[in-house]
A and B are shown apart, each in its own frame.
Chain A
């Protein structure tokens, strides 16, 4: 059974990583092709640093990912706390249904409907252009929010509702009660929400495609490499991103394991 399960997991991981391996290999290609491997070279890595179009796009992607993740985490956490406090069942269910819409809806529908809104609004205020940095940021926050909210709500449900009350009785202001009592108990949910939001924003192509205007993110630039060809420098860039994220994740995992063993120790001592 153990061998079987290891084998199966390895097979699935192989499936997940086969294209990634291809990508990494071809990023070292000496020819300007992602189809035929001609020989080893680092040209695409050195060349990458002078490819302004690609780097600007990466910068746009990162800015949008960080900002949208931060804003949606703050807004979404507040929303989750507020939603849990709603007393009318009907209001709660309306809000939750609305929250589910961007998750359940196809990206292409969300993208087109937001694009129509922005253009409609742009026409009303007579803007020269209605799409750009702000609209792509709004779009990303909008599709990130449900993931944050749905990561935080389960943690709120687990939190003992008497705790904040106790804090209030002990003389905390509501704000203090929130930051000192509620927030620590839902922090893992908030962190999950933040990471989800960041990941989704980084990976998003469809919604940005319809809403970004000339603030083009990395996926858009890669998609537009069509009249000419996709070059290995896009592969080189993805390889770098892969390595950076991989290292971060290992680091993160180690940190978490360490934290856990420390906690266990404490627990034993008690």
Chain B
């Protein structure tokens, strides 16, 4: 009897398994094929070899994304912590409020930052009224990083909050009873217990930041190219550039995998990682 249900259960995963083979695995194989061939389908490593030309694009993409991820974490962690300290019903409300901007177009939300940061924008107009000379905010690396933090911070708050809200309060009390001060309580109890949330938060902020192509264009004044911009630019030049674009995408993917692998190594056991909410 048990075998029968189990077989029945297993069989209903079949559509998904077929689906993921066709739409996840096969596309990646095709991308690898494109990356390793030229326009006529002849094997070549020329596309991959071009990475040297783009090392600056890779470099600044990683740098900006890393800075943005750290800032996001520093902002989101206390947010998630404080959220667990308020009434349950208000917690749920604030959670919804944090998620709400995701329902609006992120292009528009990013675009709005220009109005705030511009030389003639809201901040500088305000400073001008106070008699302070305008600051250069827009078209700077800072603006790009701000855009990344802004667009992806909900993806950091949600998983950390979700882990933190399930923390066993008695553990914290035990720590206090054993004479831990708040810092060591944080370092020895809270931090390790919320690690899986941090890890999935970092992943969900770092990956879109490192590969973005809209934020850098709108807030960075188009003066440099992140790796996402380069891929998008090449893709838009036509099919003859698909090979190079695939090669860059492949390298980007491997790079992200390496970054995630390094991180996972530090995080240890992480079975539920990546599950948010």
Residue ranges of A at the interface with B (Cβ–Cβ < 8 Å): 1-2, 4-6, 8-9, 12-13, 15-20, 22-23, 26, 34-35, 75-76, 78-79, 81-87, 95, 98-110, 112-114, 116-117, 120, 138-139, 141-142, 145, 149-151, 153-154, 164-165, 168-169, 174, 177, 192, 196, 199, 202-203, 205-206, 210, 218-219, 222-223, 230, 234-235, 238, 241-242, 245-246, 249, 252-253, 256-257
Contact = CB atoms under 8 A, between A and B. Distances in A.
Given A22-B122, A104-B203, A109-B252, A116 B102 contact: no
B37 to A, nearest CB: 12
A34 to B, nearest CB: 6
Given A192-B277, A199-B102, A210-B235, A23 B207 contact: no
A131 to B, nearest CB: 13
Interface stretch (B51-59, B110-118, B171-179): B110-118
Nearest to A98: B20
Interface in B1-30: 1-2, 4-6, 8-17, 19-21, 23-28, 30
Contacts of B104: 20, 23, 238, 241-242, 245
Nearest to A13: B97
Given A106-B211, A116-B31, A205-B214, A253 B92 contact: yes
Given A85-B6, A99-B20, A105-B256, A253 B27 contact: no
A151 B116 contact: no
B256 to A, nearest CB: 6
B82 A109 contact: no
A258 B232 CA distance: 48
B169 to A, nearest CB: 16
Listed residue (B111, B232, B272) with the most chain A CB atoms within 10 angstroms of its CB: B111
B196 to A, nearest CB: 12
Contacts of B216: none
Given A9-B82, A104-B257, A120-B30, A145 B16 contact: yes
Listed residue (B16, B92, B272) with the most chain A CB atoms within 10 angstroms of its CB: B16
A116 B30 contact: yes
A5 B78 CA distance: 8
A95 B102 CA distance: 29
B25 A98 contact: yes
Interface string B64-87: 000000000001101100110110
Contact of B75 (A2, A12, A112): A12
A87 B27 contact: no
B204 to A, nearest CB: 8
A67 B241 CA distance: 33
B274 interface: yes
B99 interface: yes
Contacts of B16: 75-76, 78-79, 82, 145, 149
Given A82-B16, A116-B27, A219-B107, A22 B115 contact: yes
B23 A142 contact: yes
A79 B99 CA distance: 26
B228 interface: yes
Contacts of A107: 208, 211
A256 B100 contact: no
Given A17-B101, A106-B256, A151 B20 contact: no
Interface string B142-172: 0000000010011001000000000000000
A142 B19 contact: yes
Contacts of A75: 15-16, 19
A12 B34 CA distance: 44
